[in-house]
Amino acid sequence: MFASNFLRNSFKLVHQYPISRHQLQHSKVYSRVPQTLNRIKTMELKRQLSNSTPCRFFSSSSASSNVGFIGWYLEMLNSRPILTKTITCTLILIAADLSSQTIAGSLSEQYDLIRTLRVAGYGVLILGPSLHFWYNALSAFFPKRDVITTFKKIALGQIVYGPTMNAIFFSMNAAAQGESNSEIAARLKRDLVPTAINGLMYWPICDFITFKFVPVHLQPLVVNTFSYVWNVYLTCMASQQKVASA
C-alpha cells in the first residue's frame, strides 16, 4: 500500500514539473564547461613548459657540467695530489711563457718552442712537486691560520722557498742552454737580487690571501694562479743574454 502511494505521488510530480528538452540541453552545456576549462588550462600549461624547458635544460646542463669538472678536479687532488698539482703548475707555466714571448717578442721573431719546453720541464720536475711538499710542510708545522702564523709562513716563503726556487730556475734554464758553471754563477749574481726585490713587492700580499683564507690542499692551485703574472716576469728575466764570466 505504501509503495503504490509513493509511485503514484512520484508520477504526479513528474507530470506537474516536466523537464523540457531546452533544459536538458542547457544542463549538458553546463556540464561541459568544467571539461573545457580543464582542456584550456592543460593546453596553456603545455605551451609554458615547451617555452621554458629548453632554457632550463641548457642552464641546468651548464651548471651540472661546471659542478662536474670542479668535483672531478677536487677528487683528483685527493686521489693523486702530486700529479694533479704538477700538471696544473706546468700548464700555468706554459701559458705564462707563451704570454711572455708574445709581450717581449716582435713580429719578426719566431716562437721559441724549446724555451717553452725548458719551462715545462722545470714545472714537471721541480716546481710542481715542491709546491705540494712545501705547503703541506708549512701546514704541518704551523697549523693555525691566525695573523701571526700567517706572517711566519710568508717570511719563510720569502727567505727560504722563493730564493731557492728562483736560483734553481735560473740555473736549470741556463744549463739547458749550454752555459758553463761560471756563466751560470754570473747570471745568478746579476739576476737573483733584482728578482728577490721584485718578489717582495708582489708575493707577500698573494701569500697572505693564500695562507689566511685557502685550505691547504687548494693552496698550490691559488699560488699557481698568482704565479701566472710572476712567471711572465720570471721567464723574461731568464731569457736575457748570458753574462760573461769575470
Query: How far apart are alpha carbons 216 and 136 in whole angstroms?
Result: 7
State mean pLDDT over 29-41.
55
Question: Other CB atoms closer than 10 Å to residue 160's CB: what's the count?
Answer: 11
Q: Of 31-40, 75-84, 152-161, give the lowest mean pLDDT range.
A: 31-40
Q: What is the pLDDT of residue 53?
A: 43
Asked if 174 contacts 183 with a C-beta cutoff of 8 angstroms, the reply is yes
Q: What is the pLDDT of residue 60?
A: 47
Q: Of 39-43, 46-50, 140-144, give the lowest mean pLDDT range.
A: 46-50
For residue 24, give the C-alpha cell.
Answer: 536538458
Taking all residues of the chain, what is their mean pLDDT, rounded to a whole number?
Answer: 80
Query: How far apart are alpha carbons 28 and 24 in whole angstroms?
Result: 6
Maximum CA extent, the chain: 141
Q: What is the pLDDT of residue 201?
A: 94
From start to end of 134-245, where are the E strands? none
Is 219 in a helix, a strand, or coil? helix
Q: Of 36-45, 84-93, 122-131, 228-237, give the lowest mean pLDDT range.
A: 36-45
What single-letter DSSP state applies at residue 124?
I
Residue at 182: amino acid letter: S
Asked if 88 contacts 222 with a C-beta cutoff of 8 angstroms, the reply is no
Give the C-alpha distances (Å, rounded to integers) separating 196 from 3, 61, 96, 149. Answer: 116, 46, 19, 22
For residue 198, give the C-alpha cell.
Answer: 721584485
Give the C-alpha distances (Å, rounded to integers) separating 211 from 14, 42, 145, 183, 216. Answer: 94, 57, 7, 37, 8
Is the pLDDT at 202 greater than 50, yes or no? yes
Burial 185-210 (b: 16+ CB within 10 A, else e): bbbbeebeeebeeebeeebeebbeeb
Query: How far apart are alpha carbons 191 and 202 in whole angstroms?
Result: 17
Is the pLDDT at 88 greater than 90, yes or no? yes
